[in-house]
Every structure is written in C-alpha cells, then in structure tokens.
C-alpha cells in the first residue's frame, strides 16, 4: 500500500498527497479492501497517515502557493483520520493481533500534528489580518471553548470508567471536528488582538495557543484510550487508574492575572510573569546552563535552568508566561519552575492522559511549567514548537 503512494519527479521520490487521499478515503477500500482483518487495515492506515503527517511537517510553513495547496490537502487527510478509524471498525479480536502500541501512537501523533499545524497556521494568519472583533467578544468565546474542552475531558474520563471504546472514538471525532472547523477562526481573532498593548491582550494569544495544544493532546489521548479500552487486559488497568484520580485538571496557568513587571522588593517571593520576549539566549555555562529571556518593556527577565527555549519554539516576539521565584541579580530575575504531568498523573485526569499521550504528543516538552504562544512561522525556529512535542 505505502509504496504505491510515492511518485518520482525530476529524479526525486516524494509522497503523492492525491494518491494518499484517494487510498485512505472512504472510496479507498478501508471498509471493503483486500485485507483480511480490520486490524490489518488499521495498521496500514497508521502507516499512511504517518507518511502524511511527516510530509506536512516537512513543508510547514509552506511559503509557496504549491506548498500551501499541498499542505491544505494533507491537513484535510489528517482531519479525517477519526472517520477513517471508524470506517475500519476494528474488532476486539483483531485489535489483540494488530492494534499495537506503535499503531496507536502513529495514529495519535498524526491526529495531533494535524490539529497543531491547522491552528498554528490560523494563528499566523491572524497576526497578519485585520480583525474587527472586540476584546470582550473574543474573550467570552475563548472562555466558552475552554469550558467545552473541560466538558469533553469529563466525557472521556467517563468513557474510561465504563471501558467504552466507542465513546472514546466518538469524542475523538468531536474534538477533531471542532479543532479543524471551529477553533481556527477564534485563534485568528485572538492572535490579532494579542498584538495590542496591555496584559489582557497579551494573555489572549497565549491562552488560545494553550487551548490549541490541549485540544491536540486530548485528541491524541482519545486514540490511545480507544486502543486501551478495546483490549481487556489494558481496559481493566485503565479503569482502576482513572477511578483513583480525584480531579479533572489543574488550573495553574492563569496569564490573565499574571504580573507584567517585578522589582527588587519581590526577591524571594513566588510569582508569575507575563510578557513578550525581546531576546532569547542560551547561556551554556558548565554547572548550570539556562535560557535567558528578556521581556519587552520589563526590567526583570526570565531564567529557565537546564532547558533551551529556543529549541522548543520560543523566539523574539513570542508571548511567554512563567511561574517561579524571584532571585537576586543585576537586575533581579524570575527563575522558572519545572512541573511536568508525571508528578500529577495520580491526581488530575488531564495529566494522566498527557502522560499516556507523551510518546505521540508531549503537552509539556522538557517538563517545564512555562507556557508560550505559537511562535511566528517566519522565525528561524518557528516550527520547533511542534517538533519538540512529537520528535
């Protein structure tokens, strides 16, 4: 199947997006193909969408018209992955033989990459567009979408508790549909408003970027749970683990109430800081290397020990939020904390899901507490935000 998806042009072999779309579409034989079992068809689907997601990442951000058309077609394929999985209708017996962890990870990663790229492109379009929406209108719509994701996480949690694989797949279709067809408009409007001065406007672009990534993670988590709930030996363990989790998600990141400036009197205190990066520099000293981030209009900057933010997509112009302790220096600085999902997976369902999904899409690259908005795609390392989560 896979070899037939590649074509040679001018001596180079490349993926044919049109052949791929024809092959994995409903008319391409997923339901009635020559494969003997649904599990085998699912495994071939995983290989096909893996090729599509890798090709989409390769040509992102698609600077030419030909690349943009190709990327649009690839994103259409990735948006339809939930329907392709449903068309396969893998049985429990077939899942035991073919629905391996590798297959689930490939499908989950393809779903997450499609959502992430779609919304990153929407953010980039919003930065360049003129938006007539008011801040309050966009803020209310953003709050509604954040609440809806919370409801979807609760539904996914219930599916795990009753070991309902079909409900997990249904939730995957809902999340993917919203991410590809509803969220892009909101992301564009929030991105445009985030260019204006003021803490609330800065927070809009950051919040919508966080929402986009959480949607990508949740969609990938649906695929992982779909497999686990189909396999009896994993379904029982998943149910027991989720039963012990008391809360749905953390609410630590609140950029709308973060401070935009700190001073020497804050030394020793724990605080959160929000600002637009003007410089991002890796200080590679031997004992304690760190990333230094200077914030536009602020005297106090941000230090992130042991981690390179540049490698994770933070570039000048990106809005950054961090929480940590203000330390003495010339000038004083806020040293960021580390807080990945692993240490909270037994208390919060979203962190449990993020831990399961980590091989496909890592919501917290480098186990860092800081958050940042989508970087400008024209930046030298603008694609690193996605690369650091899936590679």
* 263/206 same-domain check: no
Same domain, yes or no: 261 and 240: no
End-to-end Cα distance, the chain: 25
**31 burial type by CB count under 10 A (0-12 exposed, 13-18 middle, 19+ buried):** middle
Quick one: 35 and 112 in the same domain? yes
C-alpha–C-alpha distance, residues 282 and 309, integer Å: 8
Q: Are residues 289 and 153 in the same domain?
A: no
pLDDT tens, residue by residue, 54-86: 999 999 988 889 899 999 999 999 999 999 898
pLDDT digits 0-9 by tens, 244-290:
999 999 988 899 999 999 988 999 999 999 999 999 999 998 888 99
Q: With cut-offs at 50, 70 and 90, classify the pLDDT of residue 26.
A: very low
333-336 and 270-283 strand pairing = unpaired
User: What pLDDT is attached to residue 1?
Assistant: 46
Q: What is the mean pLDDT of residues 225-244?
A: 96
200 falls in which pLDDT band (50, 70, 90)?
Answer: confident
Name the percent of the chain lying above pLDDT 90. 66
Residue 379's pLDDT is what? 74
Indicate the pairing of strand 290-295 with strand 319-327: unpaired
In a domain, 370, yes or no: no
Q: How many domains does the chain have?
A: 2
pLDDT of 302 > 80? The answer is: yes
195 with 304, same domain: the answer is no
In a domain, 388, yes or no: no
Residue 361 CA, distance from chain mean position? 7
Is residue 324 situated within a structural domain?
yes
pLDDT (tens digit, 9 = 90+) per residue, 269-281?
Answer: 999 999 999 999 9
Instruction: Specify the long-range contacts of residues 24-32, CB closer than 8 Å, at least 24 apart.
Output: 24/48, 24/49, 24/77, 24/80, 24/84, 25/80, 25/84, 26/83, 26/87, 30/84, 30/87, 30/88, 31/87, 31/88, 31/89
Tell me if 263 sits within 8 A of 304, measured CB to CB: no
Please give the pLDDT value at position 322.
94
* 367-391 average pLDDT score: 88
pLDDT for 41: 82
Whichever domain contains 332, its CATH number is 2.40.50.140
| Res 8 pLDDT > 60 | no
> 187 lies in a domain?
yes
275 lies in some domain: yes
Domain that holds residue 98: 3-251+344-360
Q: What are phi and psi for residue 168, nearest 5 degrees?
A: -65, -40
- Radius of gyration, CA atoms only, the chain: 22
Q: Is residue 382 part of a domain?
A: no
**Is the pLDDT score of 18 beyond 50?**
yes
Residue 299 pLDDT exceeds 80: yes
pLDDT band at residue 32 under the 50/70/90 scheme:
very low
Average pLDDT over residues 321-335: 92
Taking the model in full, what pTM does it have? 0.91
Residues, the chain:
391
pLDDT of residue 252: 85
Looking at the structure, tell me whether residues 45 and 174 fall in a common domain.
yes
Q: Cis omega before residue 61 (within 30°)? A: yes
Note whether 277 and 331 are same-domain residues.
Answer: yes
| Together in a domain, 234 and 268 | no
Give the model's pLDDT for residue 258.
93
Average per-residue pLDDT for the chain: 88
Q: Is residue 24 part of a domain?
A: yes
Residues 46 and 144 grouped into a single domain: yes
Q: Domain check: are 111 and 222 in the same one?
A: yes
> How do residues 152-184 score in pLDDT, each as one tens digit?
999 999 999 999 999 999 999 999 999 999 999
Q: Judge if 159 and 31 occupy the same domain.
A: yes
H helices of 165-288, in order, are 165-181, 183-193, 199-230, 232-243
pLDDT band (50, 70, 90) for residue 35: very low
Helices (H), 60-100: 65-79, 81-88, 92-98
- pLDDT of 235 > 90? The answer is yes
Average pLDDT for residues 104-124, to the nearest whole number?
97
Give tens-digit pLDDT for 335-378: 998 877 778 899 999 999 999 999 999 999 887 789 999 998 87
Residue 29 has pLDDT above 60, yes or no: no
**Same domain as 207, residue 113:** yes
Mean pLDDT of 118-147: 89
Q: Is residue 190 part of a domain?
A: yes
């Amino acid at each position: 199947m896979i070899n037939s998806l590649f074509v040679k042009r001018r001596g180079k072999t490349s993926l044919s997006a049109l052949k791929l779309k024809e092959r994995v579409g409903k008319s391409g034989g997923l339901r009635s193909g020559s494969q003997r079992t649904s599990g085998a068809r699912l495994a071939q689907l995983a290989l096909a969408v893996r090729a599509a997601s890798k090709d989409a990442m390769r040509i992102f951000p698609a600077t030419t018209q030909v690349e943009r058309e190709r990327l649009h077609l690839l994103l259409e394929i990735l948006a339809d992955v939930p329907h392709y999985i449903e068309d396969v209708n893998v049985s429990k017996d077939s899942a035991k033989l073919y629905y391996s962890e590798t297959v689930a990870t490939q499908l989950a990663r393809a779903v997450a990459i499609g959502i992430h790229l779609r919304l990153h492109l929407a953010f980039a379009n919003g930065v360049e567009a003129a938006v007539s929406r008011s801040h309050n209108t966009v803020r209310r719509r953003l709050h509604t979408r954040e609440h809806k994701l919370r409801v979807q996480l609760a539904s996914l949690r219930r599916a795990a508790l009753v070991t309902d694989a079909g409900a997990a797949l249904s939730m995957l279709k809902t999340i993917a549909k919203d991410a590809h067809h509803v969220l892009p408009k909101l992301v564009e409007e929030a991105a445009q408003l985030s260019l204006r001065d003021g803490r609330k406007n800065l927070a809009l672009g950051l919040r919508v970027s966080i929402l986009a990534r959480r949607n990508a993670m949740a969609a990938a988590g649906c695929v992982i749970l779909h497999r686990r709930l189909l396999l009896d030996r994993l379904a029982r363990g998943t149910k027991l683990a989720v039963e012990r989790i008391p809360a749905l998600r953390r609410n630590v990141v609140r950029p709308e109430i973060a401070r935009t400036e700190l001073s020497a009197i804050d030394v020793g205190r724990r605080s959160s800081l929000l600002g637009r990066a003007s410089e991002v520099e890796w200080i590679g000293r031997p004992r304690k290397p760190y990333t230094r981030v200077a914030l536009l209009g602020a005297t106090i900057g941000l230090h992130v020990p042991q981690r390179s933010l540049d490698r994770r997509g933070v570039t000048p112009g990106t809005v950054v939020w961090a929480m940590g302790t203000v330390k003495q220096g010339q000038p004083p600085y806020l040293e960021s904390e580390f807080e990945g999902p692993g240490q909270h997976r037994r208390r919060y369902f979203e962190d449990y899901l993020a831990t399961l999904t980590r091989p496909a899409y890592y919501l917290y690259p480098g186990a860092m507490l800081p958050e940042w908005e989508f970087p400008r795609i024209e930046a030298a390392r603008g694609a690193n935000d996605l690369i650091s989560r899936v590679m």
